[in-house]
Amino acid sequence: MLNISKEKNGKACTYFLEGRLDTTTAPQLEGDIKESISDVNSLVMDLAKLEYISSAGLRVLLSAQKTMNKQGSMVVRNVRDEVNEIFDVTGFADILTIE
Amino acid sequence: MKELTIEAKTENLDEVLEFIDDILSEYDCSMKLQMQIDVAVEEIFVNIAHYAYDPGTGDAVITADVSGDPSCLTVTFADSGVPYNPLAKEDPDVTLNVEDRQIGGLGIFMVKKSMDGVEYEHKDGKNVLTIKKALV
């Protein structure tokens, strides 16, 4: 189960993810991001309520990061310890901008 | 020992995780430990769902058992699909920059990194993958 909410303000967009970003829910986020960020130059992913991430979720974050590298910047913030552990193990801690 | 026979398709992932989490609920697992185990189970089950019977479908048989002191969880995944040893795949380079990063192989890499033991065997026409993790 993943709840996606977002705040868009001009060219800035913040996603708030709540629940689990896994094989089942990742396509939902991927579709939403594709539709929403074409005119965005500042993307923030707030993971304060994200409890779980698997490689399917990492794929979506990587894809968003690649898109934002071309048109602006992306920041990941409020990462929980359990999720941060996954970022560390996979080297994602080095390719994402985590605040 | 508990056993679940289930059609290997991604729609059944939640049911597989419930099966595992039910067993873990009897133990005092930290959030981190529970997540490591769930991620490992997800990556392995989804691999079977995507590749074992492609383009058809088939079952996965999952058994789980906790034994020993300190308690150790053992989970085995068996499928009758195409013989495939996911552990033989080269680990992905996790130091590459964003543009060169690939996701392929990352799932199994996470399993190897987070579990205490991962073994593959091809036995009686089945792929059998076993993971072990101490519940401490």
> Looking at the predicted structure, is the pLDDT value of residue B105 above 90?
no
Range of the domain at B66: 2-134
Distance from CA of B19 to the nearest CA of A (A): 17
Q: Which residue does chain B place closest to A80, by CA atoms?
A: B32
The predicted pLDDT at position A11 comes to: 96
Q: Where are the domains of chain A?
A: 2-95
Structural contact between residues B107 and B128, judged by C-beta atoms closer than 8 angstroms: no
CB-nearest to A85 from B11, B32, B38 is: B32
The predicted pLDDT at position A83 comes to: 97
Name the average pLDDT for chain A: 96
R_g of chain B, CA atoms, integer Å: 15
Number of H helices, E strands in chain B: 3, 5
Structural contact between residues A63 and A45, judged by C-beta atoms closer than 8 angstroms: no
The predicted pLDDT at position A77 comes to: 98
The predicted pLDDT at position B104 comes to: 81
Q: Which residues pair with B7 in a beta bridge?
A: B59
Pairing of strands B59-67, B72-79: antiparallel
Q: What is the pLDDT of residues A6-54, one digit of tens each?
A: 999 999 999 999 999 999 999 999 999 999 999 999 999 999 999 999 9
Q: Which residues contact A38 (CB under 8 A, 6 or more apart)?
A: none
Helices (H), B48-134: 106-114
Q: Supply φ then ψ for residue B92, to 5 degrees.
A: -70, 155
CB spacing of B98 vs A95 below 8 angstroms: yes
Q: Which residue does chain B place closest to A90, by CA atoms?
A: B94
What interface predicted TM-score (ipTM) does this complex get?
0.92
Amino acid in the structure at residue B27: Y
**Average pLDDT of the residues in B116-120:** 98
Angle B14-B58-B47 from CA coordinates, rounded to 5°: 55
Q: What is the CATH number of the domain that holds B60?
A: 3.30.565.10
CB spacing of A90 vs B94 below 8 angstroms: yes
**Average pLDDT of the residues in A57-77:** 97
| CATH code of the domain made up of A2-95 | 3.30.750.24
% of chain B residues with pLDDT over 70:
100
d(CA B12, CA B77): 14
CB-nearest to A59 from B10, B39, B103 is: B103
Q: Supply φ then ψ for residue B131, to 5 degrees.
A: -120, 145
The predicted pLDDT at position A79 comes to: 98
CB spacing of A90 vs B110 below 8 angstroms: yes
The number of CA neighbours under 13 Å toward the Cβ of A33 is 27
Q: Which of B106, B112, B114 to mutate to test the interface with A (most CBs of A within 10 A)?
A: B106
**Average pLDDT of the residues in B12-21:** 97
> Looking at the predicted structure, is the pLDDT value of residue B42 above 90?
yes
Angle B130-B135-B136 from CA coordinates, rounded to 5°: 140
CB-nearest to B32 from A66, A81, A90 is: A81
The predicted pLDDT at position A4 comes to: 98
Q: What is the largest CA-CA distance in chain B?
A: 46
Amino acid in the structure at residue A80: R
Cβ-based burial of B56 (10 A; exposed 0-12, middle 13-18, buried ≥19) = exposed
Number of structural domains (chain B) is 1
Banded model confidence at residue B136, pLDDT cuts 50, 70, 90: confident
> Looking at the predicted structure, is the pLDDT value of residue B103 above 90?
no
Task: Flag whether residue B14 sits within 8 Å of chain A, measured between CB atoms.
Answer: yes
Name the average pLDDT for chain B: 95
